[in-house]
With several copies, the nearest count.
Chain A
Amino acid sequence: MDKENIQEFIAKRVAQELHDGDVVNLGIGLPTLVANYVPHDKAVMFQSENGFVGLGPTPTEEQFDPYITNAGGKPVTIKKGGIFFDSATSFGIIRGGHVDLTVLGALQVDAKGNIANYMIPGKMVPGMGGAMDLISGAKKVIVAMEHTAKGSMKILKECSLPLTAANEVNLIVTEMGVIEVTEKGLVLVEINPEFSVEQVQDLTEPELIVSEDLKPMEVE
């Protein structure tokens, strides 16, 4: 799979985690793609941390409104049933557990469910934006990312970069498999049939617990 196919594959698999009625926040980058694969029988509302629920697709020229943008500042639309609100309410929704699911990328995740995705000291310090709030507040946190970064491992025994949040990640979805974060450690619950368990383990620092019920990772 090339990079584009990998991202599509991951996004499609994450989309299977959506339930009817869910309120979902998608981080920038790969997670954004998840919106393209919402199952047709499921009504999902996307939350945008800059202040609304009901995030819709890019506007046509006619629909364009300079004051309707996503958290990346890009023009979007608002769906029927959506609502605008201020930043305090937006993070009340996020922190109060009213977001069912957040999907984010990561620089590193570890066996304890820690996640680092907001800075590389001395190199890149963009700030955490709403990521810390989302990870601490959402009912379920999914990390969606490529399994490695140019060959180096991203799923570690312990994150070395500054944490965005401690012990909050629930699920890790990569092109190699689906990993649940449990109190006992990382459990490989699905595997991409293109890879063997050994291959996944070789690119994952902590020891994986292989689920007794290990399934193939399938997307349509």
Chain B
Amino acid sequence: MNKLISIEEAIDKIKDGDVLMIGGFLSVGAPLTLIDKLVEKGTKNLTLICNDSGFVDSGVGKLVVNKQFSKVIASHIGTNKETGRQMMAGETEVILTPQGTLAEQVRCACYGLGGFLTRTGVGTAVQEGKDVIEVDGVKYLLEKPLHADFALIFAQKADKYGNLVYHGAAQNFNSVMAGAATTTIVEVLEYSEEALNPDVAETPGVFVDYIVKRGA
């Protein structure tokens, strides 16, 4: 079970039409090398699940500008004007989701749950088309899991078993997406043949299928 592969091998796994979860928050903690390689490869008709759509010149925003997404699910697209333009022009379907709901939807996919109840979005446009369930007199929206073919995430360090640790605010959606897609690929700054301390490692290696080194 060798999880370490090259960036090329990783990107070759992704096919036209696939659904991708991509970690990062306004490009901070995004798997930048994987994204750049995916831009180069030009894989089309992808669906993006990400906190935001980055900037025109960084992170997932480059994939937006390169028109590789037919659908974007995000909590915020305001920092990348091209996403808004594509949405207004009907070129790309955009689903705006509250950030906490997005995080829980991803977690549900990883955890095998069928959904969860949240007060967020009750009485707003987010409610449209969703079941409203009342528990103990409080109204909640039933939000469902978001499934994906690939989770492309970033971590500070991986051991060869796929256990991960994060640094600073680069963790954000990365550890939530680990294990939430059929295949999880992590881009790391450091790779270690030595096992991480089991008390300190944050993401279990069972959630991680492949590891690539940044810039490799």
Decide if A and B touch, CB cutoff 8 A: yes
Residues of A within 8 A of B (CB): 20-21, 23, 43, 45, 47-54, 65-69, 71-73, 78, 80-98, 114, 122, 124-133, 136-137, 162-167
- B28's nearest neighbour on chain A, judged by CB, is A69
Asked if B169 contacts A84 (CB within 8 A), the reply is yes
Asked if B169 contacts A95 (CB within 8 A), the reply is no
CA distance A89 to B159 in the complex (A): 19
Q: Given known contacts A43-B1, A51-B172, A65-B168, is B28 in contact with A95 (CB within 8 Å)? A: no
Q: How far is the CB of A108 from chain B (nearest CB, A)?
A: 13
Which residues on B sit within 8 Å (CB–CB) of A91?
99-100, 103-104, 111
Among B161, B169, B174, point to the contact of A81 (Cβ < 8 A).
B161
Which residues on A sit within 8 Å (CB–CB) of B121?
132, 136
CA distance A137 to B140 in the complex (A): 13
- A99's nearest neighbour on chain B, judged by CB, is B206
- B58's nearest neighbour on chain A, judged by CB, is A73
CA distance A92 to B108 in the complex (A): 9
Interface size class of B (residues with CB under 8 A): 35 or more
Asked if B204 contacts A85 (CB within 8 A), the reply is yes
Asked if A87 contacts B112 (CB within 8 A), the reply is no
Residues of B within 8 A of A (CB): 1, 25-29, 51-52, 74-79, 84, 87-88, 94, 96, 98-104, 106-107, 109-113, 118-126, 159-161, 163, 166-176, 179, 195-196, 198-199, 201, 204-207
Asked if B120 contacts A132 (CB within 8 A), the reply is yes
CA distance A128 to B96 in the complex (A): 7
CA distance A89 to B26 in the complex (A): 18
CA distance A83 to B169 in the complex (A): 10
Asked if B169 contacts A48 (CB within 8 A), the reply is yes
Q: Given known contacts A73-B27, A127-B77, A136-B122, is B169 in contact with A86 (CB within 8 Å)? A: no
Q: Given known contacts A81-B163, A126-B77, A137-B112, is B170 in contact with A98 (CB within 8 Å)? A: no
CA distance A80 to B205 in the complex (A): 12
CA distance A122 to B88 in the complex (A): 8
CA distance A97 to B207 in the complex (A): 10
Asked if A165 contacts B110 (CB within 8 A), the reply is no
CA distance A106 to B152 in the complex (A): 35
